[in-house]
Amino acid sequence: MARSYVGRFGYSPLPIVAAVFIFLDSLGLVFLPHLEHLPLPYLPEARSAYSLVDRKDIVYLHHVFAHVLVHGLFFWGMLFLRVFVARWLMLRKGSLSEVCTLRRKATLALSVILLFLGVFFYFKYFFQGPGLILLTNYRIFYSLPAEAVQARSLAASQVEFGQGAYGASLAAYLVWPFFAALAVIMLGRHKLFQLFVIGVTFLMSVAYALQTYQKAPIAYCVLLYGGMLLVISHGERLSEWASSFRGQKVIGRFTSLAILLGFVGGTALYIFNFGLSFWQAIVATLGRVFLVPANTEAYWFLVYPHKEAFLGLPWVLNTNMEIIKHTAFLATGDLFSANASFIAVGWSGFGVSGVLMSALVVVGYLVYAEIMWGSLCPKGRLLAIAFLLGSIFFLLSGTLFDWLSKGGLGIVLLLISSSRRVLNFRGTGGVK
């Protein structure tokens, strides 16, 4: 369905998220019940979640049904939009032209507010909190995986509430990338200045990513800012894309390159950061991408409601570290960060109804983005896709709010500030 939708209307948020989510998260469910241990060279003692339970058939049924429910919502969302967009196009006769005219007042106000908040929280976290110390103590090379894991745990233990860490993360994942995106849209004739802004904002974002001692934030920065550089380098193709209203070739290459960069970057991080060999790093990357998200989700299905009652409606859309570690302890007997997708969090809150509510919010947000997709110019759409591809990993291992705060809201920021479409009807003049 995603492929059919893309073939008809081009690449856009809903089919991209649906295809990537199903490919990276649901595919692991096919193999997970048949594994005793996960193929993770840096963590050889890691066992499959389904090897920890006797009656895994019931748990697996719940787990698969939750995914099928989400897939169904993706399907109906695309089906509705396919009919809706098709009728909308039939009603619009005449030529279609698109311009990258910024909504200057909204852009200026938003930029001032975001810049103030970004600088404030970065100063608070890095100079009054532990950020700068963690950054200066960051190491790229570790001789043993256990050493890298221990360093990450020690770093996480130094971050406390009230230090500005959450505000700094919003700046790293949203504010600085937003300013880089504005530079791509506004400074088309000044490539050197574009590269300067992207370089500065990239350094600001990657400074926060490094001090987390995690791989996903670094991969996010590489994918997002790498996508912006790709938009700059393919500027001459954008006019052709605007006239065709699809641009499958440009965005297809963009998506393929993003996936390749993500895989190569993940492999390199395991080699340099965990001290693994080349082949071990490849196995670790494949296991981390295809099996770990589904396996971590399974912990939540093992625990709720079999070992712990459902948490209730307030915990359908969000969770906290205490619940995450408590879930891991009940499932495995060990305390660790079992960050799972919005599916698992929704299940822990209210079972099937919780999954349905959580998925409706995710799909509803994507449907809104689809409906407003036409208000973005070609550059804006490519940048929105860059935000999506970079942040999708956080949707696989976090709640809806995690995803939105770590790149998912980039689409809304672009919609508020970026381009709008001009429809010119034959014989009736122009309507904006």
CA nearest to 247, candidates 147, 382, 361, 338: 382
Q: What is the pLDDT of residue 190?
A: 78
Q: What is the DSSP string of 306-332?
A: TTS----GGGSS---HHHHHHHHHHHH
Q: What is the pLDDT of residue 208?
A: 94
CA nearest to 299, candidates 40, 62, 122: 62
Distance CA 382, CA 107 (A): 19
- Determine the 3-state secondary structure of 212 from DSSP: coil
- Determine the 3-state secondary structure of 163 from DSSP: coil
Q: Is there a contact between 431 and 423 (Cβ–Cβ < 8 Å)?
A: yes
Q: What is the pLDDT of residue 156?
A: 74
| Identity at 37, one-letter amino acid code | H
Q: What is the pLDDT of residue 358?
A: 93
Give the pair of three-digit tokens for residue 408. 């998912």
Burial class (CB in 10 A: 0-12, 13-18, 19+), 427: exposed
Distance CA 261, CA 120 (A): 32
Q: What is the DSSP string of 334-386?
A: S-------HHHHHHHHHHHHHHHHHHHHHHHHHHHHHHTGGGS-HHHHHHHHH
> How far is it between the farthest Cα atoms of the chain?
72
C-alpha dihedral sign at 420, 187, 116, 399:
positive
Distance CA 307, CA 327 (A): 9
Q: What is the pLDDT of residue 87?
A: 60
| Identity at 329, one-letter amino acid code | F
Give the side-chain half-sphere CA count within 13 A for 114: 22
Cα Rg of the chain (Å, integer): 22
Distance CA 126, CA 237 (A): 41
Q: What is the pLDDT of residue 249?
A: 62
Digitized pLDDT (tens) for each residue of the chain, 432 residues in all:
887 887 777 778 888 888 888 888 888 888 888 888 888 887 777 888 898 887 788 999 999 999 999 999 999 988 887 777 656 555 444 334 444 556 667 788 888 999 999 999 999 999 988 889 888 888 777 666 667 667 777 777 777 777 888 999 999 999 999 999 998 888 777 788 889 999 999 999 999 999 888 878 888 898 899 888 888 876 556 545 544 544 556 666 666 666 777 778 778 877 877 778 888 888 888 888 888 889 999 999 999 998 999 999 889 988 888 899 899 999 988 888 888 889 999 999 999 999 999 999 999 999 888 888 877 777 888 888 889 888 888 888 888 888 999 988 998 888 887 655 433 323 333 333
Q: What is the pLDDT of residue 432?
A: 32
Distance CA 130, CA 128 (A): 7
What's the pTM? 0.84
Q: What is the pLDDT of residue 63?
A: 94
Give the pair of three-digit tokens for residue 37. 């241990």
Distance CA 66, CA 21 (A): 13
β-bridge mates for residue 424, sequence order: 95, 430
Look-up of token digits 């799909």? 363
Q: Is there a contact between 175 and 409 (Cβ–Cβ < 8 Å)?
A: no
β-bridge mates for residue 431, sequence order: 423
Distance CA 107, CA 380 (A): 14
| Helices 215-233, 248-274: inter-axial angle, 10-degree rounding | 150
| Per-domain residue ranges of the chain | 2-431
At residue 399, φ and ψ (nearest 5 deg) are -80, 175
Q: What is the pLDDT of residue 163?
A: 85
Distance CA 28, CA 43 (A): 18
Distance CA 184, CA 197 (A): 9
Distance CA 186, CA 29 (A): 44
- Determine the 3-state secondary structure of 432 from DSSP: coil
Q: What is the pLDDT of residue 94?
A: 39
Distance CA 403, CA 382 (A): 19
Distance CA 177, CA 225 (A): 7
Q: What is the DSSP string of 85-148?
A: HHHHHHH--SEEEEE----HHHHHHHHHHHHHHHHHHHHIIIIISSHHHHHHT--S--SSHHHH
The count of other CB atoms within 10 Å of the CB of residue 306 is 15
